[in-house]
Structure 1
Amino acid sequence: MAVVVEEKSASSPLGFLTDNALSLAISDTYANLQERRKLLGLDNPGTVDGIAREVQKDVLLSNFMFSGLRCDLQKVFSINPLFRLQHGFAMGSQALPPWQLMALYGNSSVFMQAAYSSDKSLTAWGNLRWTPQFVTKTQTSIDPRQAQTMIQIDNEYTGDDFSASVKAISPSILDGGLTGIFIGSYLQSLTPRLSVGLEGVWQRAALNSKPETAVSYCARYRGTDWIASAQYLAQGSLGASYWRKLAERVEAGADCQLQFAPGMGGAGLLGGIRREGQTTLGVKYTFGTAVYRAQVDSAGKFGVVLEKRVAAPVTVTFAAEIDQWKNTHKLGLAVSLEGAPEELEEIAQRPENQSTLPPPI
């Protein structure tokens, strides 16, 4: 008769941390919570920075308005990986340099972009996708007119029903202590339509100054063809936005920003609360080869931006803004020329290149 002796494997020295009633109860509770979250069918809500992206970054003119004359010459050398060079020329603009050279490289894991201007300033972006959910984004700006170089590092994790990020702006320990700006944010979907989040900021300009902290709260609700969002800042600021798809090619949005300054109501430091605010209304029309955007705000400004592709490699953009109260205006005209060999355009149309993961921009 054969006797089988079962030998128990030696436990880990730190096994007592997991092999106890408390840790097992926490593990079971977390597993049950994960199962319930999957049954709710929650989607990723985006990020706190993009809580109102449909209005502020797509419909309104904040990212599209410019003045003066501008010409961009682009040359695409490769599609996958993406490699592009661009020369930019500007005249009559206070925001854009007279000349700028920009290079871009990107694939499914790495994105790198650098811009060198005629004023000897250099800006570089570098993003690395560690996993499909985790991305590290960096930005460095060197300007001879500024005393300090700006460095920004952003670590962003995108889960199935939440997004979390930790951002550091110009961090330093060279002065004997920690200085800089550190921002942490978290946005969670509670239902298929409602998501809430918060953002915390810790900043310290120098060691001889006290650290400052602030916490903001935000919420986002997504309807069938509309999205509403709100954000409250601890300094006394309140922002609300509303986006709606009016038709297949028409979108509209409203953005309202309110600020409350205590003790500035007109009776000295002990006065009431001064309330300041601005409301902006915008609309976006998408045609076959053109995109038209227009907005008007409570400060008396009216602006339009028309972007039209007049030919396959040529895009013309017209921008105009009128300030009724200050009796001023701005005009802008831009021409973009993009060139790529025909074989690259054929490669871009292939199904295997269209289904690849985009660069971690």
Structure 2
Amino acid sequence: MSAQSPFLPQGVPPPPNTGNEQLGQGAPSPFIHEEKPAFPIHRRDDRASSFLSFLDPILGPFGKAFDSMAERRKALDLPFPGTTDSLQREVKGTLLTNFFFDGAKADLTKALSINPIFQVSHGFSLGGTTKDGMAPSTYNLNVVYGSDNWFLQGGCDDGGSVQMRANSEWAPGHTSKIQGNLTKGTQGSFVQLEHDYKGSDHAANFKTLNPSPTDGSGIYIVNYIQSLTKNFALGLETIYQRQTADTQDAMVGYMGKWTSTDKNSIGTFQFQSQGVLNATYWQRLTDKVDVAGDFNVIAAAGKREATSTLGAKYDFRMSTFRAQIDSNFKVSSQLETRLAPTFAFTVGGEIDHWSSLARFGVGISIESPSSDIPFDPTGPQPTPPNVPM
């Protein structure tokens, strides 16, 4: 009989001398019970809020200041000023400059789908004129695809030129664009990369033309426009041009846009540091009548020139009439009328009183929907997608 241990109470047997009784079936586990630990365990499961969260002690104050500024800007409820490319959209849509043509022109369009947009068009032109004389007859094929997130366009002409354009809205407010043209000769071929960012009260754009990653040549344009009040926005544009390694140039420009409270009047200005000023004004007189004015001044070294243009647009139920006159005594007008839901006829003329020259143009446009598309002129039309442009 073993002696009683002085460290144990009376009647308590001493522990066994071996561990054999701790082994075998039904024996207690020699390890800590994982489901019911002997002491409390506080497991840490920390996760980073972002990849650069370890820089929060350094960047945190800047982030808080930025968030505070964003909240104050949001409280101002400033409107979106539009992109810099659409700064003069209303003026360009009213004046005849971007719509006039001479000679004969015909466009045949086959719509295969409305949503998404998918159409094929054939274009013919004959008898046009240029500064060097008569322009040759041309034919071009154009294919367009458009959805809510994509816009794809490709075309070619009888001269061997190939054009392409692609826009993608890959995130809210972010649209990336690429545009290219390939010709037979050394002149005329180009590639252009562009990205648009649209905020709540501002817009930014980056554009590069013929960039070369080897020597850094090309044209690079960065612009930004910000709404300062509910009616006025101010912007800045920077242009860097590097044709060769030894030839480079940089320019800075400023732009502004004023919009009336009722959105019926818009005035813009653009100024380049080399001495170029452009100012426009657009006014909506009625729901069907718009007027616009364009004023240009060039005060560069060795050149002094100023021109102004006034124009008006009348929208009727089935036709649109544009008239224009400029400071060079050039008067022009154009009438586009839709004789049927799928047939449009255009006629226009221009008289240059200063040089005693006249031009005349006539064109037709035929749209043929696919047999799979239900077409009812009296019924509601299908809703096209919001194509990123």
Q: Where on the TM-score scale, by shorter chain, does this alignment land: which range?
A: 0.7 to 0.9
- Specify the alignment match of 1:304 in structure 2: 333
SS of the aligned residue for 2:244 comes to coil
Q: Displacement, 1:251? A: 0.4
Question: Once superposed, what is the RMSD of the aligned Cα atoms?
Answer: 2.4
Give the aligned residue type for 1:31.
D
* Distance verdict in 2 for CA 1:215–1:308, change over 3 Å: same
Q: Displacement, 1:4? A: 7.2
* Distance verdict in 2 for CA 1:96–1:198, change over 3 Å: farther
Q: Distance in 1 between matches of 2:97 and 2:295?
A: 14
Note the residue ranges of structure 1 that are not aligned, 5 or more in a row.
Answer: 265-273
- Specify the alignment match of 2:354 in structure 1: 325
The within-5 A match list for 1:277-316 is: 277-316=306-345
Note the residue ranges of structure 2 that are not aligned, 5 or more in a row.
Answer: 1-37, 130-134
Q: Displacement, 1:360? A: 1.5
Give the aligned residue type for 2:104.
L
Do the aligned partners of 1:73 and 1:338 also contact (CA within 8 Å) in 2?
yes
From 225, 234, 239, the counterpart of 2:278:
239
- Specify the alignment match of 1:81 in structure 2: 116
- Specify the alignment match of 1:172 in structure 2: 212
Do the aligned partners of 2:115 and 2:385 also contact (CA within 8 Å) in 1?
no
- Specify the alignment match of 2:6 in structure 1: none
Q: Displacement, 1:25? A: 2.7
CA deviations over 1:230-270 (Å, ceiling 9, x no partner):
111011011111100111110001110001124x4xxxxxx
* Distance verdict in 2 for CA 1:165–1:177, change over 3 Å: same
The within-5 A match list for 1:349-360 is: 354=383, 357-360=385-388
From 235, 242, 250, the counterpart of 1:197:
235
- Specify the alignment match of 1:149 in structure 2: 189
Do the aligned partners of 2:225 and 2:235 also contact (CA within 8 Å) in 1?
yes
Give the aligned length: 343
* Distance verdict in 2 for CA 1:286–1:13, change over 3 Å: closer
* Distance verdict in 2 for CA 1:245–1:4, change over 3 Å: same
Answer with 28-37 or 219-228: which moved more. 28-37
Give the aligned residue type for 1:46.
G
* Distance verdict in 2 for CA 1:34–1:312, change over 3 Å: same
Determine whether 1:217 maps to 2:282: no
* Distance verdict in 2 for CA 1:15–1:341, change over 3 Å: closer
Do the aligned partners of 1:100 and 1:117 also contact (CA within 8 Å) in 2?
yes
Q: Displacement, 1:299? A: 1.2
Do the aligned partners of 2:181 and 2:188 also contact (CA within 8 Å) in 1?
no
CA deviations over 1:275-294 (Å, ceiling 9, x no partner):
31100001010110111111
Determine whether 1:250 maps to 2:289: yes
Q: Distance in 1 between matches of 2:51 and 2:270?
A: 48
From 182, 187, 191, the counterpart of 2:225:
187
Do the aligned partners of 2:369 and 2:375 also contact (CA within 8 Å) in 1?
no
TM-score (norm 2): 0.82
Q: Distance in 2 between matches of 1:217 and 1:313?
A: 44
List structure 1 runs of 4+ shifted beyond 4 angstroms.
1-16, 94-97, 345-351
Q: Distance in 2 between matches of 1:84 and 1:9?
A: 54
Q: Distance in 2 between matches of 1:15 and 1:88?
A: 56
Answer with 44-53 or 81-90: which moved more. 44-53
* Distance verdict in 2 for CA 1:59–1:14, change over 3 Å: closer
Do the aligned partners of 1:48 and 1:198 also contact (CA within 8 Å) in 2?
no
SS of the aligned residue for 2:311 comes to strand
Give the aligned residue type for 2:311.
G
The within-5 A match list for 1:116-135 is: 116-135=156-175
- Specify the alignment match of 2:67 in structure 1: 31
From 77, 80, 88, the counterpart of 1:41:
77
Do the aligned partners of 2:117 and 2:385 also contact (CA within 8 Å) in 1?
no
* Distance verdict in 2 for CA 1:78–1:13, change over 3 Å: closer
Q: Distance in 1 between matches of 2:376 and 2:220?
A: 42
Which structure has the bigger radius of gyration? 2
* Distance verdict in 2 for CA 1:13–1:169, change over 3 Å: closer
Q: Displacement, 1:7? A: 4.9
Q: Displacement, 1:47? A: 1.3
Q: Displacement, 1:16? A: 5.2
SS of the aligned residue for 2:172 comes to coil
Q: Distance in 1 between matches of 2:136 and 2:197?
A: 33
From 67, 76, 87, the counterpart of 1:51:
87
TM-score (norm 1): 0.88
Q: Displacement, 1:112? A: 1.1
* Distance verdict in 2 for CA 1:185–1:96, change over 3 Å: farther
Q: Displacement, 1:133? A: 1.2
* Distance verdict in 2 for CA 1:325–1:31, change over 3 Å: same
* Distance verdict in 2 for CA 1:300–1:31, change over 3 Å: same
SS of the aligned residue for 2:63 comes to helix
SS of the aligned residue for 1:34 comes to helix
Do the aligned partners of 2:217 and 2:242 also contact (CA within 8 Å) in 1?
yes
